[in-house]
Chains A and B, each alone.
Chain A
C-alpha cells in the first residue's frame, strides 16, 4: 500500500471538502496525478522541494508518490554550499524552488508555476511499488553532518493508518501547521489531516501575533508547535492570548521546558495538550502524552504521577519501545539507558547506508521508562559530556537552570579542557526584565545535583542559537564558548 491510496480514499470519501488553501481533496488528487504525468515525461528521478510552505507542497508530495519517485524537502535556510552538496545527491530531480534560489537551481520551477500547471493539466495514472522510498528528509545535523533518512511508503502509511481514523474530523475542523516544510512533522501533518479529512491552514513564518490571529480568524481546532513557539506564545499578554476554538495543541520537535508547559496548562485550561515524541527515522510520533495524561499528572499529589507531565508519554499502538543499558541488554523500569524502537512505521534507514537488520532502531536518545510505561527522555547520547571519567547528561543540569523563573533559556555543553578532557559550561538567557548572577546559578546546581555536575562556568547571552524547529545548535555553542 502506498501514499496514493490514502489520497484516493480521501478523494472518494470527501471529494468536495476543502483541504488546503482552497484546494478540495479531488483537486489535490487530480493535480497530483497531473504532476505525476509531468514527472514521468521529464524522466525525473526525485522531486526536490526548496521553498516556503504552501499548497504546492502537498501537490508535490503526492505527485512524487504517484510517479513512484522520492519526495525530498530541503531546508531552504541552509547556506548555498550546503544546499549545493545536498543537491548533488539528487541528480535528475524535478526541482520546485522559490525564486530567490534561482541562481543555485536555474532549471527549477516556482511553487506558483508548479501549481498552475498541475491544476490545469489532465491527470495521469501510474502506481508505484510500496517499497520505493516515498520521502527523503535530511536530519537537522545539530550534532553531526545531515543524513538523508529514507521513509518508505509502508512506513508512512503504517503511521497514518495506525493512529488516525479515516474521515474522523468534523467539517468544522481545521489544523494549523507552522513547522517548516523540510521537517518530518510537515509531511506527517499533510498525511494525517488529509486522511482525517481536516482542513489544513499553513503559517510559513511563525510569529506569536500571526499565529494567534490565524487561530481565531480560521477557527483552528488543532495545532502543532515546537517548544520555542509555545514559550513565545506564553509571553504574549493574557488579553491577546485567547484561542476559543482550539481543542488540541500538540508539541514536539525538541525538549519542552517544564515551566513552559505548566504555564500553558494554566493559560489554556480548555485546550487538550498532546506531547509528541518521535524522530524523522520513525515517521514522526512514536509516543504520546495525551490530554488526560496532562490533566492527571498536573492534578496529582503523587510525585511519580506528577513527574509524567514532563515525560514523553507512552508508545502509540504498533510501536514497541525498550531501554538498553551500556552493555546492550534491556534494563528494568526506572533504569536509564539508550532508547530503542520497533514497529512498521520505523525506518531507521539512511540514504547510502544499509538498514538496522533486527528491526530495532537505536534512537541514540537517552531515557527511561516508569512502572506504567511512561517514557522519560534525558537528551541525546551524542550530547553527553565526559568530564574526567564521568558521563554527564546536559539535560539534567539544564532542567535545574530552567526551573529558575529568571532563566528564560539554558543550554549546557562540554568544552575541550586539558585537565578534564571536557569541562561543563552553560549559557543562560535572562527572562524579560530579569538579571542573572552566574555564581548564584552555580550554587543552585551544586545544591540540587552535586559538585561534579556543577558547570565550571556559566555565561549570560541574549539568545541561544537554535534551528527553526527549536533544536539547540550545541556545536555552535561549544565552539563559541571554547574559542
Chain B
C-alpha cells in the first residue's frame, strides 16, 4: 500500500506509465493505472506485471497533467502508457493548462 505524497514518483504494474505527484490532498486513497494500484518508483516498482483492465485503457500522454475535478490531486505523466489513471476509482482528466509567461 503506497500513500502518495508530493514529489513521489509512482510507477504502473500493468504498463510503462510513470507519474510524479504534483498535488495531493486525497489522504490515503490509491492511485491506479489500468485498474491496478501504482507503486512507489523509489522502492523498485518491479512488481509482477498485471493484466491491463480493458475498461481502464484511455492511455496517458508524456508531460500532461492529470487531475481530479475538485483539484485535490494532480499527477504529471513522466512516462506515457496505455492505462487510465484514477484515484479512488474515479478516472483523472487532462488538466488544461494556462502557462505562466516565461520569466527566465
Contacts and interface: CB of A to CB of B under 8 A. Distances in A.
Interface of A: 1, 5, 8-9, 12-13, 130, 154, 157-158, 161-168, 175, 185, 188-189, 192-193, 196, 198, 222, 224, 248, 250, 252, 272, 274, 276, 284-285, 288, 290-291, 316-317, 344
Contacts of A163: 99-100, 103
Given A5-B78, A9-B62, A290 B7 contact: no
Most buried by A among B20, B64, B101: B101
Interface string B25-65: 00000000000000000000000000000000000001110
**Contact-residue bracket for chain B:** 10 to 19
Contacts of A167: 62-63
Most buried by A among B22, B76, B97, B103: B103
A66 to B, nearest CB: 16
B44 to A, nearest CB: 12
A274 B102 contact: yes
A188 B104 contact: yes
A192 B104 contact: yes
B6 interface: yes
A276 B103 contact: yes
Interface string B53-83: 0000000001110000000000010110000
B77 to A, nearest CB: 9
Interface of B: 6-7, 9, 20, 22, 62-64, 76, 78-79, 97, 99-104
Given A168-B99, A285-B104, 11 more contacts: A1-B20, A5-B9, A13-B63, A154-B7, A161-B22, A163-B99, A164-B99, A224-B103, A224-B104, A274-B102, A290-B100
Q: Which 5 A-B pairs give the minimum distances between C-beta atoms?
A: A166-B63, A276-B103, A165-B99, A285-B103, A274-B101
Contact of A250 (B7, B76, B99, B104): B104
Contacts of A284: 103-104
14 contacts: A8-B78, A12-B79, A157-B7, A163-B100, A165-B63, A165-B97, A167-B63, A175-B102, A185-B104, A192-B102, A193-B102, A198-B102, A250-B102, A288-B101
Contact of A276 (B9, B20, B97, B104): B104
B103 A9 contact: no
B49 to A, nearest CB: 21
Nearest to A131: B7
A291 B101 CA distance: 8
Contacts of B79: 12
